[in-house]
Chain A
Amino acid sequence: MASRILVGTRKGTFIVEKANGQWRPRLAGHAGTGVNFVARDPYTGRLWALLGHGHWGAKLSVSDDGGATWADAPAQIKYPEGARYIGQDMYEDASSEFGVGWRISTRPATLAKLWVIGFGAGGRVYVGTIPGGLFVSRDAGASFELNLPLWNHESRGGDLSKGDTVGETKWFGTPASEGGEFAPGIHSIVVDPRDPNRLLVAVSTAGVIETRDGGQTWQSANKGMALEHTPDPEAEWGHDPHYIEQCEGDPDHIWQQNHVGIFYSADAARSWRKVSRPEQGVHFGFPVTVDAKNGRTAWVVPGRSDQQRMAIDGGLFVARTDDGGQTWKALRRGLPQECAYDVVYRHALANKEGVVAFGSTTGNLYVSDDGGEGWTAVANNLPPIYSVRFA
């Protein structure tokens, strides 16, 4: 059974281990530094932490001794010379009828945030960033390269490296962006275990994008998504996936917690089906995790609508489906049911071998050893939790 959990928080990396039947957290590095994501490369055993230093920028940190010591990775993520993107800013404009203007400009890219890391066989390491970059390593992290076909994708204005060409972008920003700019970001990376050349990435805000040729070409994978709150519900772009995860043992099964509900694909993201149950409060949220063997079993942590984004009516619960989203079971035992207003971020829910864990921005970390039926509060006073992954 899973016995080690890596936790990224606003103020450092924590490791939670099970010993003598008890889960115990401890600070394991990066004290005082924002840690957006911590994960273990299953192919090399190396731990990776995605840091946001504030003043000093975003850095990759690695540990080769299970988290005892950490060091800056030898290769850091840097946008190459000429990497440009279309950004959007609102600005004060007294001459405008509305008092503000909307400036769209092509600008050089610099790293704002390291958001997610994924791993593939053969030394592949993938890092998703803001603004909207997918960086790829083919040598286990000794070097990284920006994937240019995705960076220059027609959905974001094409190749802008030659100058001030003004294309049109269908990628929009995320409030998770740091540095004050409302830029798009890649927060989900799914590597198909059957075929390392097939990847899905999810972008806030654009949608899910797929490559089947190792990143040479990319296509949208948003069929069946419904933008019900917009004038064009069937639009190819403009979707706001909050997180996607693939069933490792049954990879055609992919789950998506989206801004507009929970979606499920049983055909490897060729099409999506909405499986929310708003009347049960199972609809809005950020994270989703799928069982590694049974692609029809998934967990979410619902929140109250995008207007509130916190636990519903002060009662925290996890919802699990075992039938591909046809029915959901609210799992509340051991979770606070009064005056709880936790928010669980997109990377802060995970499962492994029957153990389910999640952490909230109020520093609560909960673990269930029985698939979510009952929960134990492992910590209540951690810094705001950004990511929870099993080692």
Chain B
Amino acid sequence: MVTVHLTRHLYSFFPHLEGKQITVEASTVAEVVRALEALAPGIGFYICDERSRLRTHVNIFVGKEMIRDRRGLTDAVAAGDQVHILQALSGG
């Protein structure tokens, strides 16, 4: 299982996830997002655009590494990984 940590912003849109440990079965980051969508319908369109690309000002880390494939989210995840989904600090 992969553990997913969301930025506080996302909990404010999906409050029923608040306080829960989110664990999903996935082998790629794209599968992580799909699993999140099953837990919280609509969240996938917050993280990705309608072409399933990671939104410009959103970052996903697997462990301490930022993912590389922002278009297809093919970066691998493995059991025990910690995935963080954050808004990019874009200035201001």
Contact = CB atoms under 8 A, between A and B. Distances in A.
B56 interface: yes
Contacts of B45: 57, 59, 76, 78
Interface stretch (B21-29, B47-55, B72-80): B47-55
Interface in A59-113: 59, 72, 76, 78-79, 81, 108, 110-111
B57 interface: yes
Interface stretch (A48-56, A294-302, A326-334, A349-357): A48-56
B57 A54 contact: yes
Nearest to B90: A55
Contact of B50 (A54, A59, A79, A179): A79
Scoring A56, A59, A110, A179 by chain B CB atoms within 10 A of each residue's CB, the highest score goes to A56
A56 B49 contact: no
Main secondary structure of the interface of B (DSSP, over half): loop
A55 B55 contact: yes
A111 B46 CA distance: 12
Interface string B64-92: 00000000000000000000000110100
B2 interface: no
A179 B51 contact: no
A79 B87 CA distance: 23
Interface of B: 9-10, 13, 42, 45-47, 49-51, 53, 55-58, 87-88, 90
11 contacts: A53-B46, A55-B9, A55-B55, A55-B57, A56-B46, A56-B47, A56-B87, A57-B49, A59-B46, A76-B42, A108-B51
Given A55-B88, A57-B46, A72-B13, 5 more contacts: A56-B46, A57-B55, A59-B46, A108-B51, A111-B50
The 3 closest A-B pairs by CB, nearest first: A78-B50, A55-B87, A110-B49
